Structure formats: structure tokens, C-alpha cells
Copies of this chain bind each other. A is one copy, B any other.
């Protein structure tokens, strides 16, 4: 222990935390005042709590491990290498130990893995006054919240819920069963955290009860844990849309090798797909040799398809993640995107055509047939943008239908898909419009 007078404030440590090495973090943590250290430890991300715990000597480690609520302790243990887990479990007190073992049986991203098994509970036959003094005793234990009070029968089955405020505002002699709500939203232990976060967002709730198949209450999930989930899920989707595997760790903290691996996989896969463009181009080598001017517009045309496809796939991915659009809505989406593709393609086609027709040195650059080249480019743009929007919007549906994550329909994935088709559309248009003129 550091015996000098130097102390550090909560804010100072929090500000510098991301920049500190593991040893500096330990040193900084020990410089906190006792009251701050508690709050600071609880505010840390699970990963940092685990690292800090393991940098502490045994006695202190036990102390801090016991500060954690059962659901947080279970999360820390899930962050710990398997061979260290038993050591950490033995540090906990008996009750928490049993609760944590039970929680570890659930998937980390299911309601069972997020829930806290300690919650406020009363019996339906209690009077409001009895319930309040019973809760007063429970409040001295480490329950997560007394905001919602759950009404359970002797078999631990969930009958209803009453907010503490309502209980508090009710008349003391009324029975709990007369003030409780029975139309309550509850979730199963297996519910996925993404579905859970949508429920929280839709209902503006502070907590949701988790029940098993027999209706027995197992714990509560509170909304403060859901804020993290929503951010985590959005980060995963964003990174997938960017064309890589989700990193699952902050950018500056993930190891270099691991980060490169998560990027190299998709990048190589996309590269292999994009090799088809070289094959496609091979088929049109003659056309390019006869009219080199056609090569000038290749990047412009294929990138326009990629851009419109990226917009469409991003819209579809996000709408599906927010449950605004379901699989069965695909037909409504495709009709909208066909219309959008035609309009957007026509806009780009018009810009491209004007650029070619109005350029002062048009005959020098594009030759005497600049008008026909202009029409080739404009009609290809309409085709490519239309194909991009339709393919981009439908790929997420296809992926979900096949059981994959729609977010894998990344901007680069869609662009790669559209590039080959874009080349085919462009050279087909050129062969039609320029036949007998340049080709």
C-alpha cells in the first residue's frame, strides 16, 4: 500500500485511464480515496475489472471480488481465462458463489446471462404496510433495485408487479394483490440481448423480470445494463457494415495481430470476389482495344453502383436491426428500391450525360461520337444504380433468410457484388449503342 499523502481523484483517474498501462492502472487505483475506489471499481468495464482484479494480491482481490453483484461477478468470470475461473469463484461468499454458478450456465448474451438474481419480492396476501417494512429489510441486502417490486406465490411463480412508488402511494391496509399489475411484460431466460433491448426501447421500462418455462421468477434485467448492450450491438453492426469482423474490444486496446486478423479475413474474401472483375474485363479486352475511350468510365460506373448499393444495404440492415422491417416485408422494400434506383440512376445519368455533352474539349477527349458515348454512359448508370439498390437492399434479407447476420451485407460486400455486374451492364450497353460505330 502506498503510504504517502498523494491521492488521486475519481475524475483524474477516469480521464487518464484509457492511456495507462496495467501497472499504472493498479497504482492509480490504489491512490483513490476509499469511498471513490468503490464507485470507480464498479464503474469500470468488465474487461478492466477482470484485469485489475488479477493484478491485485490475494487478500485485496478477495475484497474487491466481493464488491461485485452476482451478475457482474459472472461477467468478470466470463472474461477470465478458463484455468483462472475456479480460483476467482472461491473468493466469493457462499450465496454469491451459488448464484454465479447458476448464472454461468446461461449464454452471456441471453437474458439469463444479463439478469441479477437479487430483486425485491413480496407475497400477494401481504398488506401494503407489511410489504413496505418487508422491503425495508430487503433494501439492506444488496438487491439491484427496489423500483419494481415483484409479487411471487409460494412456488416462486410471478403473479404481478407493483412499482415501489405505487406501493408507497397506496393505502396501508390494502392487500398487495389489489394494487399489483397483472398485465406485465416478462421474458424467458433464453431471450437474446438484441430482442431484449428492443423491448426496453419500445416499452420505456426500467427493468424486466426473467422467468423460466414454469413461470418461476429467476431474476431481473435492468435498463442500465441494456444501454451497454445497445451500444455493443450497434458497434458490431457498424464494424460489419464497414466490411470486417466485429472487433469485440476498444480499438486502441485490441492487440495488433488480432485486429489485422479480423480485417484480413473479409478483405481477402472480397479480394477473391473482386478477381471476377479481372475475368469479366478479360472478356471485353477486344472492345477496350478498339475503343480505349470506354475504359475511362469504368471506375465511375462501377463505383456508382457500389455507392447506391451501399446506401440500400445500410438502410435495410438498420431497419431490420430495429425491427422496423421484417423478412415478410421484402416485397414492399424491393418495390421501393426499384423506384428509388430508377430515380437515382436517372439523376446520375443526367449529370454524366451533361458532363460529356457540355465539356468544351469533348471531341478531343471522347472523339467524334461523344454523343453516343454519352448515351452509353448514361444508360449504363441507370442500369447499374438500379441493380445496386435492388441487390443492396435484398442481400440483407437473403442473409437473414439463410440464418446469417444481415449486417454482413457490408458496403464493400455489396460493392464487390455490383462491380462485376456493372462491367457486364456497361459493355453490353456499349455493344448495343456503339455497334458498327466504334465497336
Contact = CB atoms under 8 A, between A and B. Distances in A.
Contacts of A347: 264, 267-268
A164 interface: yes
A411 B201 CA distance: 29
Nearest to A323: B18
Secondary structure class of chain A's binding surface, majority of residues: helix
A348 B275 CA distance: 11
A271 B304 contact: yes
A238 B243 contact: no
A405 interface: no
Contacts of A270: 303-304, 307
B298 A299 contact: yes
Contact of A146 (B35, B164, B339, B344): B164
Interface string A11-46: 000100010000000000000000110010011000
Interface in A253-290: 253, 256, 259-260, 263-264, 266-268, 270-272, 274-275, 277-278, 281-282, 285, 288-289
Nearest to A279: B296
B300 A277 contact: yes
A200 B183 contact: no
B415 A306 contact: yes
Contacts of A39: 183
Interface of A: 10, 14, 18, 35-36, 39, 42-43, 135-136, 139-140, 143, 145-147, 164-166, 168-169, 183, 197, 200-206, 222-228, 230-231, 234-235, 237-239, 241-244, 247, 250-253, 256, 259-260, 263-264, 266-268, 270-272, 274-275, 277-278, 281-282, 285, 288-289, 292-293, 295-300, 302-304, 306-308, 310-311, 313-319, 322, 324-325, 329, 332-333, 336, 339-340, 343-344, 347-348, 351-352, 355, 365, 385, 410-412, 415-416, 419, 423
17 contacts: A43-B202, A136-B168, A201-B228, A223-B223, A234-B234, A242-B311, A244-B315, A251-B315, A251-B324, A253-B324, A271-B352, A275-B355, A281-B296, A282-B296, A288-B288, A288-B295, A299-B302
